[in-house]
Amino acid sequence: MAGATTAGRAHAPSASSRHFLKLSATPGQVALALGIAVFLVLFLVIPVGTVIYVAFTEKGTGEFTLVNFLDFARTDLFIRSFWNSVYVSAMSVVLASVFALPLAYITTRFEFRGAMLIQTLGFLPLIMPPFVGAVAMLLLFGRNGTVNLLLDEWFGIKIPFMEGLNGVIFVQAVHYFPFILINLSAALRNIDRAMEEAAQNLGSSGFRLFRRIVFPLAMPGYIAGASLVFVKVFDDLATPLLLNVKDMLAPQAYLRVTSIGIADPMGYVISVVLICMSILAMWISARAMRGKDYATVQRGGGGLAKRRMRPWESVLAYATVLLILLLVLAPHIGLLLLSFATIWSFSPLPDAYTLAHYGRVFGESFVYVKNTLVYASIAGLIDVVLGTAIAYLVLRTKLIGREWLDWAATAALAIPGVVLGIGYLRTFYGVQLPDGTPLAALWIMIVLALAIRRLPYALRACYAALQQISVSLEEAAENLGATKVRTVRRVVLPLMAGGILAGFVTSFATAAVELSATLMLVQSNADAPLAYGLYVFMQSPAGRGPGAALGVIAVLLVALCTFASHLIIEKSQKAKAAGH
């Protein structure tokens, strides 16, 4: 997210304060680095390497070949899937921009009541898996959904919001637009007010001012958000599957592996294509950002001047914001209705309301909730431990090759969940426990996959937290007799607590609703997490009620955890500020 782009600017510890350190590290640090390296190799490098290896080798003989890629290029279905994926991702970016631009602009540029509320509500879509919203969107915007029924009744028309690829685009845009909103808002806020005033002073105003000054300065932030949306949409497999769109790339990878088997090379070829597209999008984003560190706020700056709106502007702005918010919150509203609905079909609103779905979910499906809490907590824990350790090794030691840990952990960003899932299956299915169970069938594999997927975000949070701590604070502790280990425990970790917690919550919240890797790895319902249960429920019309109830529980769960951690972080920051 935004942190990933800015944290790269490392404050190298000043040479004068570090030069007396030995070049080699302590045995403890070496052991720590090796441990992390082994973990990353086992659960990231080898599985992904296996996927790439299989894609490039002949089935059976193991010889190098490009035949698999030729097969891919010769198969109409795959080529169509590829272009469909590109089209859907690109259009999702466009539509998400349509949602995000006005919200970002209005809340950062004008004195707008409820700006905070909008920025908070803007996050809401992120805490619900997009495929969950997809069902609610079908009921609201589908051919016989609320909106079209009303349109048909009033005007005699129907709009194909949810037909085929349209549906995927609509659902994905609604779900992922916060990435653009967050990055763009941050970029807009970081523009020095004087930048705009200088243009006004020289005779520029209105839309020309926006086009020539404000927009170019906010562009890097926009690109960062847009490329993230592109990658996320390209890699998502559950949403298309749930909307019954099969000719897209990520669903194809899943379908090949699950229907034809893990020996079939096409799943692996598609995986390699997915990885390449991820890397391409990130490269474009990095290129757009390079040399354009436009964070120009200087002392006395403080972002663009906020203007009071004229009455007609206010009306227009509130109408726009309300419409967009209604749209992006539609999945939540629909889900809530659905979870209380007896029957909801061919009618604008449910026929009657009931609590039965919740009863059923709490009765028989509570195992999903329990599993999710366990998995997401362990994954989050692994992430912050690894993240803190890597951040410490990179920023505070001279260990040779320490950057490799950072790069390897961050590389997970480019690995789509479905690819990691396939890699785990292929790598760990052959490895068996003494009783004969394949390693890949253990629930801990799901946890590890989640941890690897979320590690880059947690790492950036920990990295940023450690960067903000002056080295002299640690040197003071060492000067007063504390060993390295005790310094870390008594000075570094307490000061990093806020950042570590933020990292944990990001990992936890996103792992709790993650499906793409999990979908491959879940072997039995008893081991399944919430997202999987939701997916199973949502596939049958009869399961939609309980599925929606489960979805509401998931949203509340994640929202609650996020809110609680937000409070804790704010409190600790206040305490720190008071201490200064």
Partner 1 sequence: MNQPLSIPDLGANAVDVDIRNVDLSYGANHVLKGINLHIRPGEFFAFLGPSGCGKTTLLRLIAGFNQADGGEVLVGGRDVSQLPPWKRDVGMVFQSYALWPHMTVKRNVAFGLEERKVPRAEIDRRVAAALELVGLAHLADRRPSQLSGGQQQRVAVARTIAIEPKVLLLDEPLSNLDAKMRVQVRRELRDLQQRLGLTTIFVTHDQEEANTICDRIAVMNDGIVQQVGTPMELYEKPANLFVANFLGTANILPGRVVREGGERFFDIDGGVRLPIPANVVVPEGAKLVFRPQHASLGRDGAGDVLLPGTVVHSEFLGSTLRYGVRIGAAEVSIDTPFHSGESLRQPGSPVEIGLSLRSALWLAA
Q: Least CB distance from residue 294 to partner 1, whole Å?
A: 5
**Which positions from 141 to 180 touch partner 1 by CB under 8 A, shown as an x/- string?**
----------------------------------------
Among 65, 75, 204, 572, interactor with partner 1 by CB under 8 A = 204
Q: Verify binding: residue 208, partner 1, rule CB under 8 A.
A: yes
- Stretch 276-305 residues interacting with partner 1 (CB under 8 A): 291-292, 294, 296, 298, 300-301, 305
CB-wise, 311 or 579, nearer to partner 1?
Answer: 311
CB-wise, 187 or 257, nearer to partner 1?
Answer: 187
From 21, 188, 173, select the one nearest 89 (Cα to Cα). Answer: 173
Q: What is the distance between the alpha carbons of residues 16 and 2, in angstroms, rounded to a whole number?
A: 31
Q: Verify binding: residue 201, partner 1, rule CB under 8 A.
A: yes
Q: Verify binding: residue 513, partner 1, rule CB under 8 A.
A: no
CB-wise, 300 or 401, nearer to partner 1?
Answer: 300
Q: Verify binding: residue 197, partner 1, rule CB under 8 A.
A: yes
* Helix-, strand-, coil-residue percentages of the chain, each rounded to 5: 75, 0, 25
Among 195, 255, 329, 336, interactor with partner 1 by CB under 8 A = 195
Report the Cα–Cα distance between both ends of the chain, in Å, rounded: 30
Q: Verify binding: residue 58, partner 1, rule CB under 8 A.
A: no
Alpha carbon separation from 491 to 486, 497, 498 (Å, rounded): 8, 10, 13
- Stretch 539-568 residues interacting with partner 1 (CB under 8 A): none
Q: Verify binding: residue 202, partner 1, rule CB under 8 A.
A: yes
The neighbour count for residue 359, using CB atoms within 10 Å, is 12
**Span near partner 1 by CB under 8 A; candidates 123-131, 197-205, 408-416, 520-528:** 197-205
CB-wise, 24 or 296, nearer to partner 1?
Answer: 296
Q: DSSP secondary-structure letter at 513?
A: T
From 553, 463, 444, 547, select the one nearest 506 (Cα to Cα). Answer: 463
Q: What is the distance between the alpha carbons of residues 27 and 33, in angstroms, rounded to a whole number?
A: 10
- Stretch 482-511 residues interacting with partner 1 (CB under 8 A): none
CB-wise, 30 or 195, nearer to partner 1?
Answer: 195
Q: Least CB distance from residue 567 to partner 1, whole Å?
A: 30
β-bridge mates for residue 341, sequence order: 353
Q: Verify binding: residue 342, partner 1, rule CB under 8 A.
A: no
Half-sphere exposure of 496 (CA within 13 A, CB side): 30
Q: Verify binding: residue 14, partner 1, rule CB under 8 A.
A: no
The string of DSSP codes covering 141-192 is: HSTTSHHHHHHHHHHS----TTSTHHHHHHHHHHHHHHHHHHHHHHHHHTS-
Output phi, psi for 320, to 5 deg.
-60, -50
Cβ 418 vs Cβ 521: under 8 Å? no
Place of tokens 């937000």: 566
From 429, 428, 448, 447, select the one nearest 371 (Cα to Cα). Answer: 447
Q: Verify binding: residue 573, partner 1, rule CB under 8 A.
A: no
Q: Least CB distance from residue 196 to partner 1, whole Å?
A: 8
Q: Least CB distance from residue 181 to partner 1, whole Å?
A: 22
**Span near partner 1 by CB under 8 A; candidates 198-206, 273-281, 371-379, 544-552:** 198-206
Q: Least CB distance from residue 212 to partner 1, whole Å?
A: 8
Residues with Cβ < 8 Å from 251, sequence gap 6 or more? Answer: 81, 237, 240, 241, 245
**Where do contacts with partner 1 occur on this chain (CB under 8 A)?**
192, 194-195, 197-205, 208, 212-213, 216-217, 219, 291-292, 294, 296, 298, 300-301, 305
